[in-house]
Amino acid sequence: MHLVVANKLYSSWSLRPWMLMRALAIPFTEETIPLRQPDSKARMLAKGPTGKCPVMIDGDVSVWESLAIIEYVAEKFPDKGVWPSDPKARAHARSASNEMHAGFQPLRQKCPMNLRARFASKDRGPEVVESLARVEALWRDARARFGEKASEPFLYGAFGAADAMFAPVVIRLDAYQLPVAADTRAYMDVVLAHPAFLAWRSDALGEPTEWNLPEYEDGETPVEVFKP
Ligand SMILES: N[C@@H](CCC(=O)N[C@@H](CS)C(=O)NCC(=O)O)C(=O)O
């Protein structure tokens, strides 16, 4: 399996399947196509029909859309625990992951992912407050119903698809220092300490500066800048 991703510094959609496969020790090769270069669109269109990343190539199969890639991996590796084995937990995890894939636009628009920077805590508007409240309620519900019964600290116990889908949300809450409850912070800390996330961040911080994008770099002044 070969996963094509965009800049690790910025591409939250690419992080999701990459982190899942790395966390579950599923082998794959990878390549990065940097965004907004003269040949980016042509290179991405050569991999998948939308001209966007991530794209998974497996022999003559090409899968686009982060959540579809995750489902493909789940089918190909049924013993890896991509989704929880309990049907009720699995239904909840799939609902949560689809909600993430289709929603939380205010959080995504007002708090873009840039793994290099941390920003001052400030009011980011009522829509972000609403998104944040829903995220916290969703995580709390998953943990209370399913995660807390398990010995591992992720949403449904062991790290899985839903955690991967929400990893970029964790990064945004942390980077923009949004005010969160103690249980939310505890969940964020285990995701941010996960070896698969640390590996992605290390790659991200090592990307060539020529790949930097003004729309991610020239907005708000960071309070902290991370170095490779
Ligand atoms: N819904 C898609 C979103 C993919 C997406 O928007 N990818 C961005 C990078 S994060 C991209 O490749 N953009 C290329 C472009 O806009 O030219 C998914 O879940 O994979």
State whether 45 and 121 are in the same domain: no
State whether 29 and 56 are in the same domain: yes
In-domain check, residue 157:
yes
Residue 140, domain CATH: 1.20.1050.10
Question: Ligand 1 centre and the CA of 64: distance in Å?
Answer: 10
Distance between CA atoms of residues 174 and 113, nearest Å? 10
State whether 143 and 75 are in the same domain: no
In-domain check, residue 220:
no
Question: In this model, does residue 11 exceed pLDDT 90?
Answer: yes
State whether 74 and 95 are in the same domain: no
CA distances from 94 to 8, 72, 126, 170, 216 (A): 25, 14, 27, 18, 30
In-domain check, residue 204:
no
pLDDT band at 47 (very low <50, low <70, confident <90, very high): very high
Candidate from 37, 52, 63, 69 with most ligand 1 atoms within 8 A of CB, to mutate: 52
Question: Which of 80, 99, 118 delimits the end of a domain?
Answer: 80
216 vs 17, which has greater pLDDT? Answer: 17
State whether 10 and 97 are in the same domain: no
State whether 50 and 114 are in the same domain: no
State whether 93 and 20 are in the same domain: no
Structurally, the chain folds into a number of domains equal to 2
pLDDT band at 158 (very low <50, low <70, confident <90, very high): very high
Question: In this model, does residue 200 exceed pLDDT 90?
Answer: yes
Q: For residue 76, what are the domain limits?
A: 2-80
The pLDDT, as a whole number, for residue 148 is 85
The pLDDT, as a whole number, for residue 119 is 96
In-domain check, residue 216:
no
Question: Ligand 1 centre and the CA of 191: distance in Å?
Answer: 22
Question: Ligand 1 centre and the CA of 66: distance in Å?
Answer: 9
Question: Could you read off the pLDDT of 124-143 as tens digits, one per residue?
Answer: 999 999 999 999 999 999 99
State whether 94 and 75 are in the same domain: no
Question: In this model, does residue 194 exceed pLDDT 90?
Answer: yes
Tell me which residues have their CB closer than 6 angstroms to ligand 1: 6, 11-14, 35, 41, 51-54, 65-66
Q: What is the mean pLDDT of residues 204-211?
A: 96
State whether 92 and 76 are in the same domain: no
State whether 60 and 91 are in the same domain: no
Question: In this model, does residue 81 exceed pLDDT 90?
Answer: yes
Q: Where are the beta strands (DSSP E) in the chain?
A: 2-5, 29-32, 55-58, 61-64, 117-118, 224-225
Per the prediction, the chain carries an average pLDDT of 97
The pLDDT, as a whole number, for residue 149 is 87
In-domain check, residue 212:
no
pLDDT band at 102 (very low <50, low <70, confident <90, very high): very high
The pLDDT, as a whole number, for residue 16 is 98
Burial class (CB in 10 A: 0-12, 13-18, 19+), 134: middle
150 vs 121, which has greater pLDDT? Answer: 121
Candidate from 53, 62, 64, 73 with most ligand 1 atoms within 8 A of CB, to mutate: 53
Shortest-distance Cα residue to atom 9 of ligand 1: 11
Question: Ligand 1 centre and the CA of 218: distance in Å?
Answer: 21
Residue 13, domain CATH: 3.40.30.10
Q: What is the mean pLDDT of residues 169-187?
A: 98
pTM, full prediction:
0.97
In-domain check, residue 175:
yes
Question: Ligand 1 centre and the CA of 173: distance in Å?
Answer: 21
State whether 73 and 121 are in the same domain: no
Question: Ligand 1 centre and the CA of 13: distance in Å?
Answer: 6
Which ligand 1 atom is the nearest neighbour of the CA of 36?
17
CA distances from 62 to 15, 37, 55 (A): 18, 23, 7
In-domain check, residue 205:
no
State whether 104 and 191 are in the same domain: yes
Q: Which amino acid, one-letter code, is at 128?
A: V
In-domain check, residue 221:
no
